[in-house]
Structure 1
Amino acid sequence: MTDISLDNDGVRLAASVDGPPDGEPILFLHGLSLSRDTWQETGGRLKDRYRVWTLDFRGHGHSDRAPSYALADYVSDAETALAAIGRPAVIVGHSLGGCVAGVLAQRGDANVRAAFLEDPPWYLGQPGEWEKSAFPKLFSIVSARQAAWQQARAPLGTYLAFLADSPTPMGGIGSDHYGSRHLLSHASALQRQDGRCWADGNVATSVLAAIPTGREFLCPVRIIQADPGCGAALLEHHDARFAHDNPHADIVRYEGCGHSPHRAIAFEQRFASDLQAFLSSLHPA
């Protein structure tokens, strides 16, 4: 794996590249408060055949902090990575990254072959939807803890213990559902993240409301929906709205799974298999 820097109009973005130079490219995009490091296991399964790219969004991981964290800014970060790739790529996005991937899939860009969306909060920017989810309470707790700990320069172990011991919508605590490597990755990401990315709790209006939810996808898309009873971002009936707006998109629900299938001990193998099946279903570039 090789770490590189990209420039998006003066904002330095950190990225990593792995796999054969002539392999079909895949761009992985993380969710809010995570980093490109979250894709280590998933990318590792694909790097023998595919050219695997991972990106830190602005304000996350090793990328620069920036003046603005609107949806258009995150989309432009991904476009910067696509320009560096320089040929048609499949985009895999989790949560916020899934929304960015979905927006790019709507544009008919020649550099976007297909998109694989992991539980994107696609409709949570619409009136009344955000409040139905687990995210307002979760974001309030995490952002407050993060702000205090960053101010106090708390050690990584403080973040790690919080994530490992906190209750989850799936039941139990974090360490029941996520392995030590993923917990460490998330702890490191929280320690580095610019707290302004939380938008003072107004992510729904400052970022998600800008998603053109009714616009059709112009390339193959598969959507992984977590279980609405376990903290999903795609709530009950959101899958039906997706199907109505995009009758050619595939939607797969993971019953009993929370918002991050690719990180969950019980679901990461299924996620990897479903992603591989999707990649294999695409016509050669």
Structure 2
Amino acid sequence: MQPTLEARRFLGDGVSLAADVSGPLKGQPILFLHGGGQTRHSWGNAVIEAARRGFHAVTLDLRGHGESDWAPDGVYAMETFCADVRLVMASLERAPVIVGASMGGLVGLVVAAAPPPPVAALILVDVSIRLEPEGTREIGAFMTSAPDGFASLDEAADAVSAYLPHRPRPKDTSGLLRNLRLHEDGRYRWHWDPAFIRPASGNKAPDPALLESAAANLSAPTLLVRGGKSRVVSRQGVDEFLALAPHAQYVDVAGADHMVAGDANDSFNAAIFDFIEQLDLV
């Protein structure tokens, strides 16, 4: 029987966090952490595939994103996201495999580096200790490009297509409703708290020294997955990470850009589950 998703709430550090869970409760947990400006729906069918393989999959909306609470103080700093994730991890049956994309990967990296290793394994998705300025500027430009929202779903779909020209524009735009909110003025706005993209929110690039230290202190099994067309993570950035964490494995997903799971879901699934299943955690 095909696994199904069940909505659940987790207690974070003073906020309630939305999640979908699937798979046997006693199975090895896999905790999926999305990137900045994304939601728990950004993983394609990876969560269902995890459940089908006997894992207990949890895909989380980070604070200020999706259906999770917004930060009451408007602060979205690295330590705050990490505090939320540690509380979610503590509620699981055992130490999870963390699969983190972009910002979620940086959170996972910092959390995983704490001794003794609090995770069974770490998978970083198109993120490293050094990010390319061109790619990060593109992300920032998209996130700040429509402060007044959109008059229709078609208008929002046009904006996404301009940002992701390599993806076909969907004929049915209703799927965007998972990432947009209809406000009282009749306009659609992205799901994140506007404070998340304001400098005063504390949402600035993590200290490179913190990330370098975390990479050097990693001891859990680690996989770095890069999109072959990524403008956010370069091969040089990969090499710098592997020099600090030489035990880590590396996979390049050809044809994928920064959002690897959305661009090449079958290849992404093959990469992460081949890695997880060789660890014999189920």
TM-score range, shorter chain: 0.7 to 0.9
1:21–1:179 Cα change, 3 Å = farther
Give the match for residue 54 of structure 1: 59
8 Å contact from structure 1 (residues 27, 53) kept in 2: yes
Name the SS of the counterpart of 2:94 in structure 1: coil
Give the match for residue 33 of structure 2: 29
Name the SS of the counterpart of 1:234 in structure 2: coil
8 Å contact from structure 1 (residues 159, 187) kept in 2: no
More helix by share: 1
TM-score by length of 2: 0.83
The letter for the 2-side match of 1:239 is: V
Number of residue pairs matched?
265
**CA distance in structure 2 between the partners assigned to 1:101 and 1:87 by the alignment:** 16
Match of 1:279 among 260, 271, 276: 276
Q: 1:207: how far off?
A: 3.6
8 Å contact from structure 1 (residues 55, 81) kept in 2: no
**CA distance in structure 1 between the partners assigned to 2:76 and 2:194 by the alignment:** 11
**CA distance in structure 1 between the partners assigned to 2:257 and 2:46 by the alignment:** 17
Give the match for residue 267 of structure 2: 270
Q: 1:20: how far off?
A: 1.2
The letter for the 1-side match of 2:103 is: L
Is it true that 1:44 corresponds to 2:48 in the alignment?
Answer: yes
1:187–1:2 Cα change, 3 Å = closer
Q: 1:148: how far off?
A: 1.6
Give the match for residue 197 of structure 1: 196
Give the match for residue 90 of structure 1: 97
1:69–1:274 Cα change, 3 Å = same
Is it true that 1:253 corresponds to 2:252 in the alignment?
Answer: yes
**CA distance in structure 2 between the partners assigned to 1:6 and 1:154 by the alignment:** 33
8 Å contact from structure 1 (residues 159, 191) kept in 2: no
8 Å contact from structure 2 (residues 221, 248) kept in 1: yes
8 Å contact from structure 2 (residues 26, 93) kept in 1: no
8 Å contact from structure 2 (residues 89, 96) kept in 1: yes
Give the match for residue 239 of structure 2: 240
Give the match for residue 127 of structure 1: none
Q: 1:120: how far off?
A: 1.2
Is it true that 1:8 corresponds to 2:15 in the alignment?
Answer: no
Taking every aligned residue pair, what percent have the same amino acid on both sides? 24
Matches within 5 A, 1:26-175: 26-48=30-52, 49-66=54-71, 67=73, 68-109=75-116, 111-124=118-131, 130-131=132-133, 133-145=134-146, 147-149=147-149, 154-163=151-160, 165-168=161-164, 172-175=165-168
210-219 vs 243-252, which deviates more? 210-219
Q: 1:109: how far off?
A: 4.6
Name the SS of the counterpart of 2:46 in structure 1: helix
Structure 2, gaps ≥5 residues long: 182-188
Q: 1:282: how far off?
A: 0.7
Name the SS of the counterpart of 1:61 in structure 2: coil
**CA distance in structure 2 between the partners assigned to 1:201 and 1:259 by the alignment:** 26
TM-score by length of 1: 0.82
Name the SS of the counterpart of 1:37 in structure 2: coil
